Structure 1
Amino acid sequence: MTTPDQRTKAVRETRQFLETVRGTEDEILWDLVRTMAAQLLRHYPMDADLSGSARALPGVWGPPWDTQIMTAAADRRRAATTRAAPTAMLDELAGVVFLNIDNTLHASDAFLFEGKVLPESHTSTLFEFAPILEQLLGPYPALAIVLSSSWVEVLGYDFTVAQLPSDSLRARVRGATFEKEDAVDEGWAALPRGTQVLRFVKRHRLQRWLAIDDVRSGFDGYEVRLVHCQVGVGLGDKDVQQVLARRLEIIFGPPDSCSLSSPSTPDEPT
């Protein structure tokens, strides 16, 4: 075990050694250098020692570089955890609609400016197609919504739910694909949205689900479960509205059906 006195002595003698090596005009004897290095490293401070010194004397010592990276990563994970949705409580037979927001509920992307979310396009209004979605979901009162939008990761789950413009839509929300478990996975954001959805489906063992999204990536083999919206159009497209109405009936049964059994499961990979 290295004592504090030995650690201090190692630091001072290392400085003296380096000064000697720097100032010598003689050919360096590498065997002697290796021997001295081994002796000095025996009690030389480790990162844990430097971290303790940095905490005790922050005006004198800084944390090791690796420690700074680890601390920053831990801070990011904690912040992400506060934004993530709590783990959803869903029965595996529950009917779930995965809902993206940008280019779906409105016809553009969105951005955050001075604490406000604004549409990227001046011709678009946030959530302009929410009434259309409400109308199409109306005959299916038991359907739950799971948010699959990057809004959750960036702005937070609670904030995102609060932005939905109607009580009926907010009441349907049961979670988001970005859950607490995903907040500790720094690679989660790089996954295609379809992969994020499928990970959620697998985690909760869902059998009856449909996704509304402007992204196709990650839904390979599950295209029948995806109602695809065009960028810049969203649910304002009449054809997409008809596709959504038909898919709702195929996957969840006739309108006003409260049956938990799957009426017609589309063909898809197992």
Structure 2
Amino acid sequence: MLDSNFQTSSRLAPNDRVLFLDYDGVLHPDDVYRTRSGLELRAPGQLMMHAGILVEILKEFPQVKISLSTSWVRILGYRRARAALPPELQTLTVSSTWHSRMPKAPLEGYDMYSRYQQIRAAVTRAGLTNWIALDDDPFESWPDHDRRLIRTDPDLGLSSVTIQEELRLKLKALMDAKKTFPETL
């Protein structure tokens, strides 16, 4: 597990309601590559093509804060990764699971851990109790007993109506949680 003693300047507080957000396989198909001219989607559509869906859903839950759990932060840095989002999502985005003070070498520290472990470390650092994650989890790193993941199809992402409904239900449960959001729903 990542070092839970690693301190960050996270703008998350223990009582916040947080959505950990991946980009690839969620806001657009998981077919993005880094090229000399930047990140490029090699599937039909465009980068962030489903972001408007998330904007509309989160209008129903204005207290939810976003923490980026996407590899874009590792590649581009937090500011550039956040700037790729529509303005409505940028204003809700307050942190990320990766921070520039973490080791940059591949297969060192952060890169050795699954997405679930990366998110759990961020949860521990911020002392969060009420959170969910929206991710395609292609390596299926999420434990079966933990139901806080909304797992998207890597090709459909948030365009799936079933996933949109699941996200709404889990956001509603997140907002209704008295003290802690249950791992099992």
TM more than 0.5: yes
Alignment correspondent of 2:162:
239
Alignment pair present for 1:178 and 2:103: no
* CA distance in structure 2 between the aligned counterparts of 1:267 and 1:194, rounded to whole angstroms: 13
* CA distance in structure 2 between the aligned counterparts of 1:180 and 1:250, rounded to whole angstroms: 33
**Aligned partner of 1:183: which letter?**
P
Structure 1 residues 109 and 245 mapped into 2: Cα distance closer, same or farther (>3 Å)? same
* CA distance in structure 2 between the aligned counterparts of 1:205 and 1:235, rounded to whole angstroms: 28
More helix by proportion, 1 or 2?
Answer: 1
Alignment correspondent of 1:229:
152
Alignment correspondent of 2:60:
139
Higher relative contact order (CA 8 A, sep 6+): 2
Q: Aligned-pair distance for 1:267?
A: 4.1
More strand by proportion, 1 or 2?
Answer: 2
Paired residues of 2:69 and 2:97 also in contact (CA < 8 A): yes
Alignment correspondent of 2:172:
249
Matching of residues 1-270 of structure 1 within 5 Å? 87-121=9-43, 123-164=44-85, 166-183=86-103, 186-215=108-137, 217-220=140-143, 223-253=146-176, 262=178, 265-268=181-184
Structure 1 unaligned regions, length at least 5: 1-85, 254-260
Equivalenced residues, count: 174
* CA distance in structure 2 between the aligned counterparts of 1:140 and 1:241, rounded to whole angstroms: 14
**Which digits, 9 at most, give the CA deviation of each residue in 1:229-259, with x for residues without a partner?**
0111100111111111111111113xxxxxx
Paired residues of 1:250 and 1:263 also in contact (CA < 8 A): no
Paired residues of 1:97 and 1:210 also in contact (CA < 8 A): yes
Q: Aligned-pair distance for 1:221?
A: 5.0
Q: Aligned-pair distance for 1:87?
A: 2.6
Moved more, 179-188 or 192-201: 179-188
* CA distance in structure 1 between the aligned counterparts of 2:16 and 2:174, rounded to whole angstroms: 12
**Aligned partner of 1:246: which letter?**
L
* CA distance in structure 1 between the aligned counterparts of 2:183 and 2:149, rounded to whole angstroms: 13
User: Sequence identity, in percent?
Assistant: 26
Paired residues of 2:131 and 2:181 also in contact (CA < 8 A): no
* CA distance in structure 2 between the aligned counterparts of 1:195 and 1:105, rounded to whole angstroms: 22
Secondary structure at the counterpart of residue 182 of structure 1: coil
Structure 2 unaligned regions, length at least 5: 1-7
* CA distance in structure 2 between the aligned counterparts of 1:136 and 1:264, rounded to whole angstroms: 22
Q: Aligned-pair distance for 1:189?
A: 0.8
Secondary structure at the counterpart of residue 183 of structure 1: coil
Secondary structure at the counterpart of residue 97 of structure 1: strand
**Aligned partner of 2:129: which letter?**
Q
**Which digits, 9 at most, give the CA deviation of each residue in 1:138-172, with x for residues without a partner?**
111121100000111112111111111x2110011
Paired residues of 1:106 and 1:126 also in contact (CA < 8 A): yes
Secondary structure at the counterpart of residue 131 of structure 2: strand
Structure 1 residues 201 and 263 mapped into 2: Cα distance closer, same or farther (>3 Å)? closer
